[in-house]
Amino acid sequence: MSVNFAHEIDERRPAGTDQVVLQVEGLKVYYATPTGDVRAVDDVTFQIREGEIVGLVGESGCGKTTTAMAILRLVQSPGRIVDGRILVDDVDIARLNERELRQIRWTKISLIPQGAMNSLNPVMRIKDQIGDAIETHEGRQPRQALKERILSLLSTVGLPSRVYKMYPHELSGGMKQRVCIAMAIALNPTLVIADEPTSALDVVVQRVVGETLLDVKNRLGVSMILIGHDMGLMAQLVDRIAVMYAGHLVELADVYSLFREPLHPYTQLLIDSIPSIKERKPLKLTEGITHDLRNPPPGCIFQLRCPHVTDKCRTVVPPLLEVAPSREVACHLYYDA
Amino acid sequence: MAGLTPQYVLRRLGMFLLTIWLGATIIFIIPRLAPGDPVAAMVSRLTAQAGYIENSAEIIAAWRERFGLDGPLWVQYLAYMRNMLTLDMGYSLSSFPSRVDEMIFSALPWTVGLLSVSTILSFLAGNAIGALMGWPRVPRWIRALLPTSLTFTSIPFFMLGILLVYLFAYELRWLPPTGAYGRGLTPGWNWPFIKSVIEHGILPVLSIVVTSMGFWALGMRGMIITNQGEDYMILAEAKGLRPSRIFLRYGVRNSILPQVTALALSLGGIAGGSTLVEYIFAYPGMGYLLYQGIVNTDYTLIQGIVFMLILGTATAVLILDLLLPVLDPRISYER
Ligand SMILES: Nc1ncnc2c1ncn2[C@@H]1O[C@H](COP(=O)(O)OP(=O)(O)OP(=O)(O)O)[C@@H](O)[C@H]1O
Ligand SMILES: [Mg+2]
């Protein structure tokens, strides 16, 4: 198997503690459409441990953002959480009432949204947008203390203090992205969900923002879910990777093993399709998700594109099972071992 | 005050002066393009009324001189511009010894009062109704009831005015039908006068507000709904902010900006449209005066009023333009 990035990954990277901060069980999120429900997230189960970064990868439209929004219970209409439990500190977010939900948002789980460019209110100063998150949850603050706190947040993410008084349109894309990071860590949450925090940036700034995320994680010990397509960036940043395909989690493993020996055929394709300068190779991953998310085929979700497909795959859904220590995969090829 | 840069203020001031200059010039040119001249027209009208006037040619010549209509065009133009700048608008043709500026200045406060009160009320009420109509958290029954307040939007406001006068002034006799204050009261800061002004103002204000707030409400509702899909609204919710704060600081705050721009654009129409309301309620403002000027073909009066309308509208637009960058920090950069 291709190991393009395996050499970059430090095998001894601390993978967090054993304390589970988020447990998602059997999550299903459907979007209602005139021709039936789009099963954007279908029976997804995973855990996030304290202090680790978990990468969530998969091609466009596989349900990454929907999963993230479901964890904050922010799925936009016509979407809805159909089933599942989202446990944070033994509290099921899916069952909270509105007031309890508001209290958990940002104090426990914060978000670096996919469109960070448009996620700042264009007519509010940066200080007010960070300040209102703080004051909503901690009550009115003395002006000076609040100012110092916001300034220190800005410097944590490497922004100059003049950003404090600026409006979003006065900032570059990378700066806005970092404002969003600063905002996300303002209340010291246990979990930060970063939805493609670097996808709209140029390569250098991507790297810098990536470093910022890593630095923030190391300093504050927060857990993170890092959503993205960029396998290179994933290799650089995350401890474990969850691979999603058409609303299903197909593989979950520590980043080193996953790059060295991907198990699920889809993961193999994904890693194989990382471009490399050393060898030119034909792209194996040619099309997007082949079936309609409204009508998933019976059996394995990947059967239509899988090179190893068997009769069993066409009838029995493969569950996500642990096939080796810290390696979970949803594929019939590995269950007998 | 982020966007209020000196360049921006200077540019807006320049536009303001240009508008007024252009307006004044057009007012100067138009009557002179018409065949005949105002004095001759008036004298011939007097002739028609009186049957015969002695020395009518001499009268015409004398009056032409008096109204500065005898010199070459550019001399007339310069004199006219100087007069307009000093707000010296000469004598009314139809009620001769009265000066146009005096007539205008006694009418002006009524119109300014009527229009500013009704425009502000209509803007506030309309936007409030629209915002509530567009906000999904407002209880369903309120959102279902709100549109009934907009039923009168589609009828012209002078029609509603006539209806209101009939209902409240003639049938119920709650409010006076016409005028700006009761007879026999001395204008000034005394309670009976103020009370009377308010009573007389209710029906005209109401007819403008009720018929025009629908425009603001529908615009606001659309803005609020569009705004809801914005990423920053979702992030505001993710931050766990209180719904009231999201509604006001993120929803209404962002949606009001295009509304203020629309207000600036509609001011000209508002000033023009007031003529009919003042006519129906015999309200002694500029619109009523303009109506009299037109009926009596009083050119100097019409000229003066139109100039004041242009001046007033341009001033209001200037004020809104200077207000916009304070509301929206992006503006001075975009234009
Ligand atoms: N409002 C909607 N109505 C119907 N289907 C929707 C809606 N929003 C999303 N979907 C569907 O849900 C699926 C998951 O979307 P989601 O945004 O979670 O994908 P994603 O993995 O984040 O993709 P990307 O990498 O492009 O951000 C997609 O197939 C999409 O078509
Ligand atoms: Mg996404």
Give phi and psi for A79, each to the nearest 5: -80, 155
Is the domain of A127 the same as that of A264? no
Lining ligand 1 with CB less than 6 A are A 31, 33, 38, 40, 60-66, 78-79, 114, 293
At B137 the three-state DSSP class reads coil
| Secondary structure element (H or E) that encloses residue A98, with its range | helix A98-104
**Of the given ranges (A56-65, A271-280, B19-28), which has the lowest mean pLDDT?**
A271-280
Q: Does the residue B105 lie in any domain?
A: no
CB-closest option in A106, A124, A183 to B240: A106
Contact list in A for residue B249 (CB cut-off 8 A) is 121, 124, 132
Number of domains present in the structure of chain B: 2
Is the domain of A158 the same as that of A207? no
Find where tokens 């998969």 sit. Answer: A58
Strand order in the sheet with A36-49: A36-49, A20-33, A79-88, A91-92
Q: Tell whether B254 is within 8 A of chain A (Cβ).
A: yes
Is the domain of A298 the same as that of A265? yes
Residue B239's closest chain A neighbor by CA? A106
Is the domain of A98 the same as that of A184? no
Is the domain of B291 the same as that of B308? no
pLDDT of residue B332: 59
**Residue pLDDT, tens place only, A210-231:** 888 888 888 888 999 999 888 8
Is the domain of A11 the same as that of A61? yes
Q: Does the residue A70 lie in any domain?
A: yes
Q: Does the residue B102 lie in any domain?
A: no
Is the domain of B125 the same as that of B246? yes
* Residue B32 structural domain: 1-94+297-335
- Residue finishing a domain among A146, A173, A188: A188
Predicted model pTM: 0.83
Is the domain of A253 the same as that of A171? no
Is the domain of B218 the same as that of B312? no
- Any idea which ligand is nearest the CA of A63? 1
Is the domain of B57 the same as that of B120? no
Contact list in A for residue B330 (CB cut-off 8 A) is 122-123, 167, 169
Q: Does the residue A316 lie in any domain?
A: yes
Contact A108/A96 with Cβ under 8 angstroms?
no
Is the domain of B123 the same as that of B218? yes
Statement: residue A235 has pLDDT above 70: yes
pLDDT of residue A7: 54
Average pLDDT score, chain A: 88
Give phi and psi for B52, each to the nearest 5: -155, 140
- Of the residues B223, B226, B239, the best mutation for testing chain A's interface (the one with the most A CB atoms within 10 Å of its CB) is B239
| Secondary structure element (H or E) that encloses residue A321, with its range | strand A321-324
Is the domain of B122 the same as that of B259? yes
Is the domain of B317 the same as that of B273? no
Residue B150: CATH number of its domain: 1.10.3720.10
Q: Does the residue A336 lie in any domain?
A: no
Is the domain of A212 the same as that of A311? yes
Is the domain of B6 the same as that of B128? no
**Which has more pLDDT, A287 or B222?**
B222
Contact B15/B7 with Cβ under 8 angstroms?
no
Measure in Å the smallest separation between the Cα of B138 and chain A Cα atoms.
15
**Of the given ranges (A62-66, A314-318, B246-250, B259-263), which has the lowest mean pLDDT?**
B259-263
Is the domain of A29 the same as that of A134? no
- Take residue B205 and report the two structure tokens written for it: 């204000």
Q: Does the residue B70 lie in any domain?
A: yes
- Residue finishing a domain among A171, A188, A205: A188
Q: Does the residue B83 lie in any domain?
A: yes
**Residue pLDDT, tens place only, A78-97:** 999 999 999 998 899 999 99
Nearest to B236 by CA among B213, B254, B218: B254
Binned at pLDDT 50, 70 and 90, residue A3 comes out as very low
Burial B249-273 (b: 16+ CB within 10 A, else e): bbbbbbbbbebbbebbebbbebbeb
Angle between helices A143-156 and A173-184 (to 10 degrees): 120
Ion ligand 2 — residues with CB < 5 Å: A 65, 114
Residue A86: CATH number of its domain: 3.40.50.300
- Residue finishing a domain among A161, A188, A215: A188
Are B238 and A120 a contacting pair at CB < 8 A?
A: no
Statement: residue A141 has pLDDT above 80: yes
Residue nearest atom 5 of ligand 1, based on CA coordinates: A31
The sign of the CA dihedral B88, B91, B97, B102 is negative
d(CA B30, CA B7): 34
Average pLDDT score, chain B: 84
Number of domains present in the structure of chain A: 2
Q: Which atom belonging to ligand 1 lies closest to the Cα atom of A246?
A: 29
The sign of the CA dihedral A192, A196, A198, A203 is positive
Is the domain of A236 the same as that of A163? no
Q: Does the residue A153 lie in any domain?
A: yes
pLDDT of residue A105: 95
Is the domain of B86 the same as that of B165? no
Is the domain of B67 the same as that of B202? no
Average pLDDT for A143-152: 95
Is the domain of B55 the same as that of B168? no
Q: Does the residue A337 lie in any domain?
A: no
Is the domain of B270 the same as that of B121? yes
Average pLDDT for A158-166: 94
CA distances from A265 to A85, A255, A275, A330, B134 (A): 28, 16, 18, 10, 48
At B41 the three-state DSSP class reads helix
Q: Does the residue A278 lie in any domain?
A: yes
**Which has more pLDDT, A153 or B32?**
A153
d(CA B130, CA B219): 7
CB-closest option in A74, A118, A167 to B230: A118
Q: Does the residue A211 lie in any domain?
A: yes
Is the domain of A146 the same as that of A291? no
* Residue A65 structural domain: 6-108+192-329
Q: Does the residue B104 lie in any domain?
A: no
**Of the given ranges (A172-181, B38-47, B213-222, B234-243), which has the lowest mean pLDDT?**
B38-47
- Take residue A183 and report the two structure tokens written for it: 């905002």
Q: Does the residue A219 lie in any domain?
A: yes
Binned at pLDDT 50, 70 and 90, residue B241 comes out as very high
